[in-house]
Structure 1
Amino acid sequence: MLKNNPVLTKLLAFFGISALLGALGAGMLLPAGMLAGAASQVGTEMLDQLPAELNEEPLSIPSVILDQDGQEIATFYAEDRTPVDLEDISQHMIDAIIAIEDERFYDHAGVDGQGLARAVVHNVTSDTQQGASTLTQQYVNNVLVNYQNLNGLRTTVSGTKQIPDKIREMKLAVAIEKEMSKDEILEGYLNIVLFSGRTYGVESAARYFFNKSAAELTIPESALLAGLVQSPNALNPENNPESATHRRNLVLGNMRNQGFITEEEYEEAVASEIKLDMNPLPSGCYYAKDGFEYFCDYIQRLILADPAFGPDRESRQRMLDRSGLEITTTLDSDLQKAAVETARRNVPAGENEGIGSSIVTVQQNTGNIKTMAQNTKYEVGEDLGNGETSLNFNVDKDWGGGQGFQLGSTLKPFVAMAWIGSGKSMRDRVDASRNNYDGARFPAYCLPGGHARIGSDGWRPKNAIADMHKPMRMDYGLYWSINTATIAAAYNTDLCAITDITDAAGITDAENNEGLDPSNPSFVLGAYNVSPLTMASAYSTLGSGGTYCEPRAIESIVDADGNEYTVPPIQCSPGALNPENIKELNNTLTALASKRISQGELDFPIAGKTGTNNFESSTWFIGYTSELSTASWVGNYLGNGPDYTLKGKNIGGRYFQDAWGSLIAGPMWVDFMKVAGPKYGTDAFPKFDGPTGDPSQYGGGSSSSSNSNSNSNSNSNSDSGSNSDSSDESSNNDSDDSDSSGNDD
């Protein structure tokens, strides 16, 4: 009956509102004679059951990601809002909003009885609807909406209101007027109200439409913005200029009629054209600073995975979008710009399908990430062009990366660390002549039986340089990245001692976060897929003299109220690797980096190792100074097989008959370090006190090893880690396949 009788519905609404008016205050709103005694009693009971206090929350405002120096990288928001004091808002804007929304604002106590009575009568007797909400009521309504949005509740008080909603709003408005001054209410309203789309508050609206502050708004600009609050989308001047102009002129007429502007000012304002200077605030990583998008994505994923910001992903995203977080990161913008430019110049995105490059840098003794760059354009979706991807080459799968990239020879320094840790010297000789390990048993103290056995398929590794199948010193084998030398070293130490070292240096599979498996000896040639960030951190253990630090991207997080959130602290493990063993290893890695990679272009101490996988689809140079460790990677991010090789490609204006780490990733690393090295300092590495020589020269060496398993079960707890030279060596393409041939760069 009620649904089908609109006249009856209006009459009931009239009597309900009348009852409320009587309860709100005799004589303040309507003459007492208009109210029936019973209705007044009902209204009083209704009000007594409603809360008299408004649940206020901090305004929903954008969060920002900042670099180490406080420069903005990206913004996140659900509502673009910048709260300002009333004194920082143009008086024209204040006058305009009062003129159009609540001309009796300074005369009522929260609810305008005259206006409400007029609206009720109009709505009962007319087919059109007329509102009567005061600015105070509108403020209450917006505060309730803000509360629900911040707490993930369904919004029920916006849009078409039911009588209980209206009653609650009115009671709260009266209560608010007792607690806040008129100026405080005006300030709150102008900071909370919606003006367009996701633009809230007059300061953001002024910037969005006119690219100026709220304090600078002119009369016609103020009138335009004041007119928008009635219907922000329908009256948007960008999409509906005629409707917006009509509404603006209505506001101007009210301002004139109420004495806020003169007739002359009115005539001039209505005759003016709407001149917009649109300046929307970007939101999200897609709109981050150019070249910083992938790092932004990494930061966002870190926050969404952290229970400190909410019990689930949805609540954490809501906090990021609404809580005004100031997220200060470890990123060095100057180095990041240099890394991005270097990655793009050396490997132009889209030049070859699927070929990418990345440069990631961590700081020694802190783990702080200083760069996270790659050559591609950050794009999200399925229909992507060549050179476009959302895949972050630098990180593990859990953080937006893929399955990682095969390490190639970059793992060899860690084998050398185990060799040294077992009591041998880099000047000792290994029998690199052996290239048949069919049925061989490699010592592995942590495995059942104490060994890992090559299966029936056998393993016959190869070297890229044919005449390198001969006995040689360990340092010579590492310098030239000889596969058979590394395998012989592993055969004469212990596979589990090697994985103890890789574990201590934080090396894990990019896809499953598990450490390297010693049961398959081919891992020593770099068959595993690992992320560049993981390897930069592993090599920083060598550059720091044995201290491994977890990679770290966030320095601090503070919300709009100044509350600080707990972020991962610097987490370092001094002595993770043996510093004396690193000194001996560095004699080889410094020679390799200086002679084979820098070739005189860098005038400060460096160390590192190259790497190239089978089919030459992934190339590396990972190097370090005394302060920074940087992984430089160039490869095909679409796959590892022969169809994805870099051989025979023109890359960055150069043709590569062979695609080795020393030829591609190495020079890119040198270009970047010309900027990075001097900024952070480049002290000399501590010198090894024992016997050393030129590792690039063949000859000499003692015969402490001849593939006899002489130290087969040495659990080298003396840790180790090392840096790898990129002589383009490659190993088993499949970490489960023990038949690895290899490119021994």
Structure 2
Amino acid sequence: MGFARATGLIRLCGLCVTAGVLLAAMLFPVFGGVGLASNRATDTVNEMSGELAKADPPMVTTILDKDGGLVAYLYDQYRIPVSSAQISNTMKAAIVAVEDKRFYEHHGVDWHGIARAAAKAGVEDQATEGASTLTQQYVKNYLAYVVGDADQDAYAQATAHTVARKLREARIALQLEQRESKDEILTGYLNVVPFGNKTYGVAAAARTYFNTTPDKLTVPQAALLAGLVNRPSALNPGKSPEEALARRNMVIDRMRENGAFGNPADASARQIAEDYKKAPLGVVSPLSVPASDCVGIGEGAKDGFFCRYVEEYLAKAGLPTDQLKRGGYTIRTTLDRHATDVAKQAAESQVPKTTKGIANVMSIVEPGTDKHRVRALVANRDYGNNASAGQTSYDLPAQMIPFGAGSIHKIFTSAAALEQGHRISDILPTPYLYTSSVFKGGGSSCPSAGYGEHWYCLHNASPNYPPQMTLQDALATSPNSGFVWLEEKVGVPAAVDMAVRLGMRSLATTKDPERTGKTIADAVKSENRASFTLGPTPTNVLELSNVAATLMSGGVWCPPTPIEQVLDRNGKPVPIREQGCQQVLSTPIANSLVVGLSKDDQGPGTSAAAAAAAGWNRPVMAKTGTTQEYKSAGFLAATPQLAGAVLTFADGSAPRPICDTDPPSLCGEGNIYGGKVPARTWYQTMNTLLAGQPVLPLPPVDPRYQ
């Protein structure tokens, strides 16, 4: 007798003993602890029965806008759980006929089949996939795709080609058959089993392949789905239609043999089967599988940036994306679809999406003292993976941009000055050329400070500024010299800390790009960088919007939240870890600074031309900004109802200065300013969104700061 055959007989004998032990475990629970299965599998027995089993499978998380409209689905397994009553008898008959024709007769295990599998294992040194009942397959699929979805060891055990796995399945199947009815087991199986194309469960499969529901499946449709569970990849009807058709027809034959069409021997039953086999596959093209992330779902081109921010925000709040993709949550967000549409149109009208190397990004936040709700996150780019079509998967509105916001940072120096006792009526010197007697680090053209160092020196964008002006007028016209002078008075650390307090929180967490090993905030403070007030550091458009919302909320900072509510799969609220709102600047100072920023749209204000062109007629706080090399320009502004920021910047692999042509273009010198493309985008958006709403005044300035 050959060695392999002898081994097979030995294993077969062992199987007989094991079968006896398994039966004993059924009859005498004291033996249930015999080491025939892992503790993990044993613990799972209870999970396999009753309502918990029906709730455990990974489910689709749905993201909704503020009005309940669909934004996106997040999932690893596309599954729509259904009850037995929602599955047609045709589907049940098809799966029983092809997978386990004795399903309603056995008690969960086919011992003869297992014996054959063990004998073959002795010859081939592995277990085969045959001889498994539907109950055992349910166990296997549950362990692989429910337990194993989040536990790779469990998945490996559930799919291992070993006799040990077969015995583990048998043990759980025997107990499961004692605890659940045949219909409950069959329903559980049909809700768990994979059908290919990331589709799990019969309801999702019916939607994916036929755009229907499982209660309406016809015989040919049910037979095709029942055939898929054997080898979903190889029998994919989209890629292998001939193989899928042959498999479907085989299932129809099995259904006839199992009495689905009457007496199998009758000619009428044979004719019915033949008629069904003549039907075309009927699979929809393309398959009706929803996108499984923020790319490509419905309004994904516009909503994708917001969807991505939801993922990132919830990950920080205790719901990581991998949990979202299994949990079956319903997430109601703050997304305003109308605001998104309007802002997207404005961003693209100023910088068409086909424009090479230039991004135009906008975020909108609603001020408030209890929440700062994010209403829109858009760009002239679409959210996606096709760069040649102007798409990007980088979250432009809510991530750090490598280019700065320019003179918008003068807001932080001004806020720090007001907090230290200055007033918006204070006079600032604003000479065309200015050399600091406090800051160092200037270039070779700056006067020497000794020891090889130079004093920091700079000039204004134009020589036409008056030699001095009030802080309020300086905020409107933005002379560089006056704010470096003011920064000397308040100190760089105070200005940086104010920026972080008001909303630029990423400055305190993002590493400095000059490789100091410190955060941007710490690096700027430790090096006493005078340029901070001129805004060269990387920025975040959403955080800029939130700065405006903080000031318009009386100095109350709240995290820019995209979340209204999170519900679990059972409709119960899920608490998330969100930062609370904070009074980061006194209300009198915040209100006074809002008034200090109220002249930008008037007279010589830097956004006056854009405001006039848009027919703007509302009180507004605003500030423009442009970086030195014209590679970025920004605009921050707010009314009492809405706050927003726009950043136009070079986003190509070889960034160059931007020229304000029609459409904007990359060029050699650059002439982009915050009062041009960014301000035009903002005013166009807000004019539309605020149409019909009351014209609200800005808060009054506190006399102490006037």
Give yes or no for TM over 0.5: yes
- Which residue number in structure 2 is paired with residue 234 of structure 1? 234
Q: Secondary structure at the residue paired with 1:460?
A: strand
Q: Secondary structure at the residue paired with 1:631?
A: strand
Corresponding position: 1:259 with 2:270: no
Corresponding position: 1:601 with 2:578: no
- Which residue number in structure 1 is paired with residue 140 of structure 2? 141
Matches within 5 A, 1:46-85: 51=42, 53-56=45-48, 58-85=56-83
The residue type paired with residue 61 of structure 2 is S
The residue type paired with residue 265 of structure 1 is I
Matches within 5 A, 1:703-742: none
Structure 1: how far apart are the matches of 2:34 and 2:466? Answer: 98
**Taking structure 1 as reference, are residues 634 and 455 closer, same or farther at Cα in structure 2, changes over 3 Å only?**
farther
Deviation per residue, 1:28-67 (Å, 9 max, x gap): 9xxxxxxxxxxxxx99977699949354461022223333
Q: 1:371 aligns with which of 376, 391, 394?
A: 376
- Which residue number in structure 1 is paired with residue 204 of structure 2? 204
- Which residue number in structure 1 is paired with residue 627 of structure 2? 613
Structure 2's unaligned 5+ residue stretches are 263-268, 441-448, 512-518
Corresponding position: 1:269 with 2:279: no
Residue 148 of structure 1: how far off its partner (Å): 2.5
- Which residue number in structure 1 is paired with residue 5 of structure 2? 7
Q: Secondary structure at the residue paired with 1:430?
A: strand
- Which residue number in structure 2 is paired with residue 169 of structure 1? 169
Structure 2: how far apart are the matches of 1:254 and 1:685? Answer: 77
Residue 551 of structure 1: how far off its partner (Å): 2.1
The residue type paired with residue 274 of structure 1 is L
Structure 1: how far apart are the matches of 2:628 and 2:103? Answer: 77
- Which residue number in structure 1 is paired with residue 565 of structure 2? 556
**Taking structure 1 as reference, are residues 120 and 425 closer, same or farther at Cα in structure 2, changes over 3 Å only?**
closer
Contact 1:377 1:388 in 2 (8 A): yes
**Which one has the bigger helix percentage?**
2
Contact 1:555 1:567 in 2 (8 A): no
Residue 646 of structure 1: how far off its partner (Å): 0.8
Q: 1:515 aligns with which of 508, 511, 521?
A: 521
Corresponding position: 1:578 with 2:586: yes
The residue type paired with residue 521 of structure 2 is G
Structure 1: how far apart are the matches of 2:585 and 2:124? Answer: 85
Corresponding position: 1:470 with 2:470: no
Structure 2: how far apart are the matches of 1:631 and 1:318? Answer: 31
Residue 524 of structure 1: how far off its partner (Å): 2.0
Corresponding position: 1:590 with 2:595: no
Q: Secondary structure at the residue paired with 1:486?
A: helix
Deviates more, 1:482-491 or 1:525-534: 482-491
Residue 533 of structure 1: how far off its partner (Å): 1.6
Contact 2:37 2:164 in 1 (8 A): no
Contact 2:432 2:481 in 1 (8 A): yes
Deviation per residue, 1:254-292 (Å, 9 max, x gap): 222222125243121011121111212211222342222
Q: 2:93 aligns with which of 70, 92, 95?
A: 95
Structure 1: how far apart are the matches of 2:367 and 2:533? Answer: 25
Residue 124 of structure 1: how far off its partner (Å): 9.5
Matches within 5 A, 1:22-37: 22=20
**Taking structure 1 as reference, are residues 67 and 682 closer, same or farther at Cα in structure 2, changes over 3 Å only?**
farther
Q: Secondary structure at the residue paired with 1:371?
A: strand
Corresponding position: 1:668 with 2:675: no
Corresponding position: 1:131 with 2:130: yes
**Taking structure 1 as reference, are residues 594 and 84 closer, same or farther at Cα in structure 2, changes over 3 Å only?**
farther
Structure 2: how far apart are the matches of 1:172 and 1:578? Answer: 65
Contact 2:143 2:154 in 1 (8 A): no
Matches within 5 A, 1:444-593: 456-508=453-505, 510=507, 511-512=510-511, 514-515=520-521, 517=524, 519-562=528-571, 564-569=573-578, 571-574=580-583, 576-593=584-601
- Which residue number in structure 1 is paired with residue 219 of structure 2? 219
Deviation per residue, 1:320-352 (Å, 9 max, x gap): 332223333332222222222222222113423
Corresponding position: 1:301 with 2:312: yes
- Which residue number in structure 1 is paired with residue 360 of structure 2? 357
Contact 1:123 1:130 in 2 (8 A): no
Residue 615 of structure 1: how far off its partner (Å): 2.2
- Which residue number in structure 2 is paired with residue 651 of structure 1? 663
- Which residue number in structure 2 is paired with residue 319 of structure 1? 323
Q: Secondary structure at the residue paired with 2:623?
A: strand
Structure 2: how far apart are the matches of 1:199 and 1:687? Answer: 59
**Taking structure 1 as reference, are residues 178 and 418 closer, same or farther at Cα in structure 2, changes over 3 Å only?**
closer
The residue type paired with residue 530 of structure 1 is T
Corresponding position: 1:336 with 2:340: yes
**Taking structure 1 as reference, are residues 18 and 342 closer, same or farther at Cα in structure 2, changes over 3 Å only?**
same
Q: Secondary structure at the residue paired with 1:459?
A: strand
Structure 1: how far apart are the matches of 2:622 and 2:160? Answer: 67
The residue type paired with residue 375 of structure 1 is N
TM-score (norm 2): 0.82
**Taking structure 1 as reference, are residues 189 and 508 closer, same or farther at Cα in structure 2, changes over 3 Å only?**
closer
Matches within 5 A, 1:402-481: 402-403=401-402, 405-433=403-431, 435-440=433-438, 456-481=453-478
**Taking structure 1 as reference, are residues 107 and 492 closer, same or farther at Cα in structure 2, changes over 3 Å only?**
closer
Rg larger in 1 or in 2?
A: 1
Structure 2: how far apart are the matches of 1:231 and 1:564? Answer: 39
Structure 2: how far apart are the matches of 1:159 and 1:458? Answer: 70
Structure 2: how far apart are the matches of 1:492 and 1:276? Answer: 73
**Taking structure 1 as reference, are residues 515 and 130 closer, same or farther at Cα in structure 2, changes over 3 Å only?**
closer
Structure 1's unaligned 5+ residue stretches are 29-41, 310-315, 443-451, 692-717, 721-745
Structure 2: how far apart are the matches of 1:260 and 1:681? Answer: 69
Q: Percent identity, aligned pairs only? A: 28
Structure 1: how far apart are the matches of 2:7 and 2:222? Answer: 38
TM-score (norm 1): 0.78
- Which residue number in structure 2 is paired with residue 150 of structure 1? 150
- Which residue number in structure 2 is paired with residue 683 of structure 1? 696
Residue 624 of structure 1: how far off its partner (Å): 0.3
- Which residue number in structure 1 is paired with residue 397 of structure 2? 394
Count of aligned positions: 650
Structure 2: how far apart are the matches of 1:587 and 1:49? Answer: 70
Residue 471 of structure 1: how far off its partner (Å): 2.5
Question: How large is the RMSD of aligned CA atoms in angstroms?
Answer: 3.7
**Taking structure 1 as reference, are residues 11 and 160 closer, same or farther at Cα in structure 2, changes over 3 Å only?**
farther
Deviates more, 1:368-377 or 1:78-87: 368-377
Contact 1:83 1:203 in 2 (8 A): yes
Structure 2: how far apart are the matches of 1:630 and 1:93? Answer: 54
Contact 2:659 2:666 in 1 (8 A): no
Residue 149 of structure 1: how far off its partner (Å): 2.3
Residue 480 of structure 1: how far off its partner (Å): 1.5
Matches within 5 A, 1:623-638: 623-638=637-652
Q: Secondary structure at the residue paired with 2:377?
A: strand
Residue 469 of structure 1: how far off its partner (Å): 4.7
**Taking structure 1 as reference, are residues 236 and 9 closer, same or farther at Cα in structure 2, changes over 3 Å only?**
farther
**Taking structure 1 as reference, are residues 688 and 77 closer, same or farther at Cα in structure 2, changes over 3 Å only?**
closer
Contact 1:625 1:682 in 2 (8 A): no
**Taking structure 1 as reference, are residues 187 and 463 closer, same or farther at Cα in structure 2, changes over 3 Å only?**
same
Deviates more, 1:193-202 or 1:143-152: 143-152
Structure 1: how far apart are the matches of 2:156 and 2:481? Answer: 72
- Which residue number in structure 2 is paired with residue 37 of structure 1? none
Residue 91 of structure 1: how far off its partner (Å): 1.2
Structure 2: how far apart are the matches of 1:492 and 1:43? Answer: 79
Structure 2: how far apart are the matches of 1:409 and 1:62? Answer: 45
Contact 1:552 1:570 in 2 (8 A): no
